[in-house]
Chains A and B, each alone.
Chain A
Amino acid sequence: MPASSILPLSLRRVGFRIDGRTIIDDVSVDIGAGPSTILLGANGAGKSVLMRLMHGLLAPTSGSVAWSDRDPERQRRLQAMVFQRPVLLRRSALANVAYALKVARVPRPERERLAAEALESVGLLHLANRPARVLSGGEQQRLALARAWALHPEVLFLDEPTASLDPSATREIERVIQAFDAAGTKIIMATHNLGQARRVGDEVLFIHHGRLVERAAMDHFFAQPASAEAAAFIKGELPWT
């Protein structure tokens, strides 16, 4: 485990425009270690783009995204991301995790052991030698979680990780996320699902039309949303959660 943390993550007046459209509009926020953070909002609110700006997959067109640790190598190594649809390589489940370790320059002798540990942590060790692409949707997403977690990142980004999964696979994924959370990994997850936000998260960043409208502790957010947009969103979403 690293001596110093790359958190907090600081966004200062971050904006993202593409083709004349504003996707993210003037977002400033500090995210520290500790409670799991949920980016909550409707489809198209800009959650995924905001997450990609945080993770460094996109560069902001205005403002700045900064980690407390300025070393780009450590920044990259101590954060990982799981996407809505996992992209797995055409090799075994174990080899997929080992590949991530190889890219991170983990010495070869350690890779297999670490990869097996990561598979164990998501309950996939018995499928280690199965080709990754023939696993079920839920298993593929758990493999993606194992791959992201193999390096024990300090921050784990999750972009709608269960959006294309059935309820039982969703529960499995949430259980894994909660275990990673309990093990001390900072969870930052985007979702539009209120039930999931409540089960997994401790605090909410509510995103609406590319703006950060509200930040609140989870219970407080649901009991007394401060903004009209959040109140409408909770009211509109609840019947389906």
Chain B
Amino acid sequence: MGAFADAARSAWGLIATGDAALLDIVGLSLAVSLSAVACATVVGLPLGAALAIGRFPGRRAIVILLNALMGLPPVVVGLAVYLMLSRAGPLGAFGLLFTPGAMVIAQTILVLPIIAALCRQAVDDAWAEYEEQLRSLGASGFGAALTLVWDIRFSLLTAILAGLGRASAEVGAVMIVGGNIDGVTRVMTTAIALETSKGDLPLALALGGVLILLVIALNAVAHVVKDAAQRRYG
């Protein structure tokens, strides 16, 4: 217990003084994960809505696949993206491997199924409620889907948050495609893994604390927004 207390005290020192190395790592973590979630949201929400409202052959199979992909192992995604981006790979020419860009790609692939699948579920439920009314008013197809997604936008926040949770917490994918290079691709999770194995427990613990606080803060903000919206719009 003494070791933990020492580590916690040093960790607090690092956070309180705004240690530059710590801030860099936190900043890059946020940049990578938020970018990945933004990309996955732009693709995932329309995809989920289309799967909920559209009626086309193979829809059920795609829905089942999407639900299964929510549990994609990060290291496997990391490996696949690594193979695509490596010098000999099909996308090797872009020279993205071991850059933050590669990490964004890997996390986008991880998060996309989560956001799309949760969005599909939410839109599916809402469609059951709205369909007759919207058709009666003469709204159909793309226009109706847009109305629906906009009307449940605050529920979709939950899907996006689930994606963000996944992105900020995973270590396997960013480790493989980013390489955990100091000052270039080192993020909170990879740094925690490294510092722990090196024995620098204060830095690892400080990073762990910041990671948890950030996740709580983001969720709290989202919760407050959702709550206020609920009271405002019912």
Residues of B near A89 (CB, < 8 A) are: 147, 151
**In the docked arrangement, what's the CA distance between A104 and B133, Å?**
14
Tell whether, in the assembled complex, residue B132 and residue A83 are in contact, meaning their CB atoms are under 8 Å apart: yes
Tell whether, in the assembled complex, residue A100 and residue B234 are in contact, meaning their CB atoms are under 8 Å apart: no
Residues of B near A131 (CB, < 8 A) are: 232-234
Residues of B near A76 (CB, < 8 A) are: 138
In whole Å, how far is A133's beta carbon from the nearest beta carbon of chain B?
Answer: 3
Tell whether, in the assembled complex, residue B136 and residue A57 are in contact, meaning their CB atoms are under 8 Å apart: yes
In whole Å, how far is A156's beta carbon from the nearest beta carbon of chain B?
Answer: 11
**In the docked arrangement, what's the CA distance between A90 and B149, Å?**
11
**In the docked arrangement, what's the CA distance between A80 and B134, Å?**
11
**In the docked arrangement, what's the CA distance between A86 and B133, Å?**
8
**In the docked arrangement, what's the CA distance between A219 and B233, Å?**
45
In whole Å, how far is A102's beta carbon from the nearest beta carbon of chain B?
Answer: 9
Tell whether, in the assembled complex, residue B234 and residue A132 are in contact, meaning their CB atoms are under 8 Å apart: yes
Q: Is B224 in the interface zone, CB < 8 Å from A? A: no
**In the docked arrangement, what's the CA distance between A201 and B16, Å?**
76
Q: Which among B129, B138, B147, B233 is the interface contact of A104 at CB below 8 angstroms?
A: B138
Residues of A near B137 (CB, < 8 A) are: 80, 99-100, 103-104, 147
Tell whether, in the assembled complex, residue A133 and residue B136 are in contact, meaning their CB atoms are under 8 Å apart: no
Residues of A near B133 (CB, < 8 A) are: 83, 86-87
Residues of B near A99 (CB, < 8 A) are: 137, 147
Tell whether, in the assembled complex, residue B138 and residue A90 are in contact, meaning their CB atoms are under 8 Å apart: no
Residues of A near B233 (CB, < 8 A) are: 90-91, 131, 133-134
**Size bracket of the B interface:** 10 to 19
Q: Is A211 in the interface zone, CB < 8 Å from B? A: no
Tell whether, in the assembled complex, residue B234 and residue A103 are in contact, meaning their CB atoms are under 8 Å apart: no
In whole Å, how far is A131's beta carbon from the nearest beta carbon of chain B?
Answer: 5
Q: Which among A57, A90, A104, A132 is the interface contact of B132 at CB below 8 angstroms?
A: A57
CB closest residue in chain A, given B234: A133
Residues of A near B143 (CB, < 8 A) are: 103
Interface residues of B in 109-141 (CB under 8 A from A): 129-130, 132-133, 135-139
Residues of A near B151 (CB, < 8 A) are: 89-91
Number of A-B residue pairs at CB separation under 8 A: 44
**In the docked arrangement, what's the CA distance between A100 and B143, Å?**
12
**In the docked arrangement, what's the CA distance between A103 and B137, Å?**
7
Tell whether, in the assembled complex, residue A87 and residue B138 are in contact, meaning their CB atoms are under 8 Å apart: no
**In the docked arrangement, what's the CA distance between A147 and B133, Å?**
11
Tell whether, in the assembled complex, residue A55 and residue B234 are in contact, meaning their CB atoms are under 8 Å apart: no
CB closest residue in chain B, given A87: B133
CB closest residue in chain B, given A159: B132
Contact flag A80-B136 (CB < 8 Å), given A87-B129, A87-B130, A89-B151? yes
CB closest residue in chain B, given A101: B137
**In the docked arrangement, what's the CA distance between A134 and B230, Å?**
10
**In the docked arrangement, what's the CA distance between A90 and B232, Å?**
9
Residues of B near A104 (CB, < 8 A) are: 137-138
Interface residues of B in 133-174 (CB under 8 A from A): 133, 135-139, 143, 147, 151-152
**In the docked arrangement, what's the CA distance between A52 and B143, Å?**
22
Residues of B near A134 (CB, < 8 A) are: 233-234
Q: Is A81 in the interface zone, CB < 8 Å from B? A: yes
CB closest residue in chain A, given B126: A87
The 4 residue pairs across chains A and B that have the minimum distance between CB atoms = A133-B234, A87-B133, A90-B233, A134-B234
Seed contacts A52-B132, A57-B136, A87-B129; 13 additional CB < 8 Å A-B pairs: A55-B136, A76-B138, A86-B133, A87-B130, A89-B147, A90-B152, A103-B139, A103-B143, A131-B232, A131-B234, A133-B233, A134-B233, A134-B234
Q: What are 26 sample pairs from A and B whose C-beta atoms fall under 8 A apart?
A: A55-B136, A57-B135, A57-B136, A76-B138, A80-B137, A81-B136, A83-B132, A87-B129, A87-B132, A89-B147, A89-B151, A90-B233, A90-B234, A91-B151, A91-B233, A99-B147, A100-B137, A103-B137, A103-B138, A103-B139, A103-B143, A104-B137, A131-B232, A132-B234, A134-B233, A134-B234
Chain B residues within 8 Å of A, Cβ to Cβ: 129-130, 132-133, 135-139, 143, 147, 151-152, 232-234
